[in-house]
Structure 1
Amino acid sequence: MKNRWITFFTGIISVRITGKGLERYINTLIKNGLLIWSVRRNGIQSLTFKMKLNDLSKLRELSRGSGIKIEFIKKEGLPFLFKRLLMNSGFLVGAISFLVIITILSNMIWGIQIKGAEPATEYKINKELDKMGVKVGKLQFFVDNVESIQRQLTNNIEEITWVGVELQGTTYHLQVVEKNEPEKPNYLSPQHLVAKKKAVIVDMFVEEGQAVVDIYDRVEPGQLLVSGVIGKEGQNVQVPAKGEIWGETWYKTSVEIPIKTTFQVYNGNEKRKHSLKLGNVKIPLWGFGKIEYKEFETETNEKQIKFLNWTLPISLVSDTHREKESETRIYSNEEAIDVAKKMARLDIKNNLPEDAKIIGENILHQAVDNDKVTVSIHFQIVENIAGGQPIIQGESE
C-alpha cells in the first residue's frame, strides 16, 4: 500500500477475525471498498489485518449475519494518540506547567548587588532602580537593557561618576565610582612655579615659596613666578612652591556657520512590533502590517530566554520604528552671527580649566560668503597660569 503513513492521521485499527469462510469474507470487504492490508493467517479459522478507522462502521454493517467473530486487537494513529493524551492530561499539563514555571523563574530578577557606593548613595541607586522597574521579582523581559540602565543611573544620580551594570544569571551586579572620594595627599618634591603661557598677572595667592613677580607684571612662558628656594643666603631651603597665579591671557577663535541647514528630527510617531526569535527565524507576535513611514529609524531590543543556567536560542524581540522628518533651518545674518558667538564661547570653555573665566571678547572679523557666516573673535581670559618645575639639585635662587 503506497503512502500508508497518511492513514496515521485518520487512525488505524488491527482486527482479528475468526470463523468459517474467512477468505470469502475478506473478498466481500474488498469488493465493498474497504481498504485492508497486512493480512496474516493465525490458524485454520483465524486471520488478522489492518484497516482505516473511518471504515469501522462499514465493517460492522458487513459483518451482520456472516457468522464471523470480530476482535479489535490494536489501535494506532493520531486520534488514539490524542485520546491517550487526554486521558493522561494531568501528567501532560503538569510537565508543561513545570517547564513554564522553571523558564519564568529563570528569567526573573532574583538579586541586585551594589558595590563601591556609600549607604546614602546606595539608597538613591536602589530608589532609581525601583523607578525604572529593576526590582526583585520582575521579569527581565520588561526591564531596560544593561546599557540603558547604566546611562540613566549616571545621568540621574549626581553622586556617582560612573556605574558599571552587568547581568549575571538572575542577578544584576553594579560597580559604582563616586564623585566625592577623599583626595589622596599630594606629596611634592621641591619645585618652582613658572608661567605656562604669556599673560599679565591680575591676582596671586602664594601658599609656599617666594614670589618673584607682582600684580600687573607681564610674564612670558617658562618665566619664574614663585621660587621654591627660600631663606637667607647661605641658609637656603628648597620647598615645593605652591600657589595660584592668576593671569589675563588671550585667545583667538574662528567659527563658520551655514545659513541654511537641513537635518533629520523625530516627529513623535512610532510603531512597535514584537516577535519571537527562534535561531534566525522571527515569528511575529504583535504589531503586524507594513511600516508606512517614508523615513524612519529602527531601535531593536532583544531579550534572551534562559532555562536554569542555559541561554536558549530563543528570544523576545521588540522593534521600535520612529518616524523622521527633514527640517530646514534658515538663519538671518544677525542670527547666524549670534549663534557663531555662542559656539565660539563654548569652544573656548571646553578647552579651558573649569575655574577659568571669560572677562572680555572682541569680534575681529565677520563675513557672509557662499551662504556661510564666518566670525573671528578675540577672548580675554583669566586663568591660573602657574605650573610646577622641579628644582635641579644644588640650584639656588
Structure 2
Amino acid sequence: MGKHKGWLSVRVRMTGERVEDAVNECIRTSLVLTDVKRVDSRCAQFYVTSNSLGTLEDIAHRTGCTLETVSPSKTDRVKTTATRRWGMAAGLGLFVLTLFLLSKMIWNVNIYGASPPLQDELENQLQEMGVKQGGFQFLVPDADMIQSRLMEEVEGATWIGMQQNGTTFQFEVAQQSLPEETDNPSPRHLTASKTAVIQRIFAEKGKPVVQENELVHEGDLLISGYIGEGEETEAVGAAGEVWGETWYEVTVSLPRERLQETLTGKEASAFKLRLFQLNLPIWGFQADEQFSDHVLNQKEYQLSVWNRSFPFSLRIENYQERRTTSQDTEDIITQTKKAATTRMERYLPEEASIISEKILHENARNGKVKLVMHYKVLEDIKSETPIIQGE
C-alpha cells in the first residue's frame, strides 16, 4: 500500500488483539487504507478518508479494537484554523471575492465604425443586455447571442463584430451603404407581377390604364410610360403605386399529439466557490430541490490576473422550473394555423398585409394534422418593364 495523503485523509491508530483481522476485514470490504505501519503486535497506524471513518468504526467494534485519531485531515485543519481566525478568513475571502468581481467587471465599451445615430441605438441595445460600464461579465449573454441580437434589432448595420479584451468590450460596425436613387429613371412601363384585383392605383409619372376593382394578370400593363398624344408622345420612366388583392394557399402539417415543454418563469440560483476540487456553497443551498422538473444552466468563471489563472472559480447554477403538458387536437390546429400564418408573413414583402384567412381543408390522420389555408393579401403588384426604342 503506497503513501497517499489527500485533503480528506485522516491518520488513525487502531489498537487491539485482533488488529490484523480488522485490517483484513477492511481489505475485504474494499475500504482503502494507505501508508499502513505496524507499531507493535497490538497496534497499527494508517490513513483513511474521513467519509470512511464510520465503516472503519464498525469494523473496529466487531473485532474488539479501538480507534484513535492521530492527525485530522487537511480539510478539518483548514476548517479549524478558519474557525479560530474567522476574522482573517473572512477578510481574505472578501478580498478574493472583491478581486474576482473587479476582474469580471466591464470597464469600457467601445464602438467603432458607426454613425452617431447608429451608435446611440447600439448603446441602448447593449445596455438592455447589461453590456455597460459597471456591469458584470457573468451577467451578460455570450458573444454569439449578443452579436445575433444586435444584428436582429439594429437596422442599418451590415455586420457587427464583437471582441472582448479583458475588461473591455469592443464592437466593429459595418454600415449599410445604399445606392442613390436616380431622379430620372430610363423609360419604362409598370406591369402586373401577378394576378390580382386592383384596390388602388396612383400614377406619379405615366398614364394609368387600369381602374380599381379590375382583374389583371401577370404581365398586364398598369401604368404606361407613354404620355401625350400623336407626335407629342413622349416615353418616361413610369412611377407610382399599384396595390392589388392577391390570393395564396399554404399547406402545413404538425404531429397530432405533442408534448409541450414550457418554462413557468420561476427560477432559483446557486452560487458556489470551487476551490481545489471542492465546491463550497455560498448562496442558494437548496436551489436544486425547489422544482421537481427543471432546466439547469451553468456558468463557471475563473479569476485571472495578468494572464495568470488562480486555482479557484465561481460557479453559478441557474434552475428554471419546467412544465410538460400534452396538447389536444384543438391546440395542435391552432398552432398549425399559427405556423401557416408565420410562413406566409415571412414570404410576403414587408409592406404587404394579410386581409383575411380561412381553412380550406383540414385532415387529421396518420398521426398528423394537415391544414390547407387560404389567404387574401393586399400588396404592391407593380413590376418594371423597360420601353424598347421603336416599340
Distance in 1, Cα, partners of 2:208 & 2:308: 68
The residue type paired with residue 244 of structure 1 is E
Q: Which residue of 1 aligns with 2:270?
A: 272
Change (3 A) 1:301 1:189: farther
Of 308, 318, 321, 1:320 maps to 318
> Secondary structure of the equivalent of 1:345?
helix
Quote the residue 2:380 is aligned against: 384
Amino acid at match of 1:326: T
Matching of residue 239 in structure 1 with residue 236 in structure 2? yes
CA pair 328-235 structure 1, distance change in 2 beyond 3 A:
same
Q: Secondary structure at the match of 1:125?
A: helix
Distance change in 2, residues 1:282/1:147 (3 Å): farther
* TM-score, normalised with respect to structure 1: 0.56
Higher radius of gyration, 1 or 2 = 1
Could you say which residue in structure 2 is the equivalent of 1:331?
329
Structure 2 residue matching 1:197: 3-state secondary structure:
coil
Q: 1:351 aligns with which of 347, 350, 356?
A: 347
Determine whether 1:109 maps to 2:106: yes
Q: Please name the residue that 2:279 is paired with.
A: 284
Q: Secondary structure at the match of 1:240?
A: coil
Distance 2:144 2:366 in 1: 43
Q: Secondary structure at the match of 1:189?
A: coil
Structure 1 residue 117 displacement after superposition: 5.0
* 2:160 matches 1:170: no
**Aligned counterpart, 2:181:** 186
Alignment of 1:103-182 (within 5 A): 107-115=104-112, 116=114, 118=116, 122=120, 125=123, 129=127, 134-137=131-134, 140-141=137-138, 144-147=141-144, 165-175=162-172
Q: Offset of 1:192 from its aligned partner?
A: 2.0
User: What is the CA–CA distance in structure 2 between the aligned matches of 1:108 and 1:154, rounded to whole Å?
Assistant: 25
SS of equivalent to 1:349? helix
In the superposition, relative to structure 1, how do residues 236 and 316 fare at CA in structure 2: closer, same or farther (>3 Å)?
A: farther
Do the aligned partners of residues 275 and 322 (structure 1) sit closer, same or farther apart at CA in structure 2, a change above 3 Å counting? farther
**Offset at 1:205?**
1.0
| Change in 2 beyond 3 A, CA 1:230/1:265 | same
Of 108-117 and 286-295, the range deviating more from structure 2: 286-295
Aligned to 2:261, the other structure's residue is in SS state strand
Q: What amino acid does structure 2 have at the position aligned with 1:356? A: A
Structure 2, gaps ≥5 residues long: 4-93
Identity of aligned residues (%): 32
Displacement, 1:283? 4.7
For the 8 Å contact 2:263–2:320, the answer to whether it is kept is yes
CA 1:106–1:359: 2 relative to 1, 3 Å:
closer
Is the contact between residue 141 and residue 316 of structure 1 (CA under 8 Å) also seen in structure 2?
A: no
Report the RMSD for the aligned CA atoms in angstroms: 4.5
Equivalent pair of 2:254/2:332 in contact (CA under 8 Å): yes
1:207 aligns with 2:204: yes
Cα distance between partner residues in 1 of 2:125 and 2:209: 55
* Distance apart, 1:306 and its partner CA: 3.7
The answer to whether the aligner puts 1:196 opposite 2:200 as a matched pair is no
Distance 1:349 1:237, change over 3 A: same
Deviation readout 1:195-249 (Å, 9 max, x if unpaired):
1111122211111122232333322212222222334444544332211111221
Match of 2:253 in 1: 256
Q: CA, structure 1 residues 146+357, in 2 after alignment: closer, same or farther (shift >3 Å)?
A: closer
Partner residue of 2:363 out of 364, 367, 380? 367
1:102–1:210 CA distance, 2 compared to 1 (3 A): same
- Unaligned runs of 5+ residues in structure 1 are 4-96
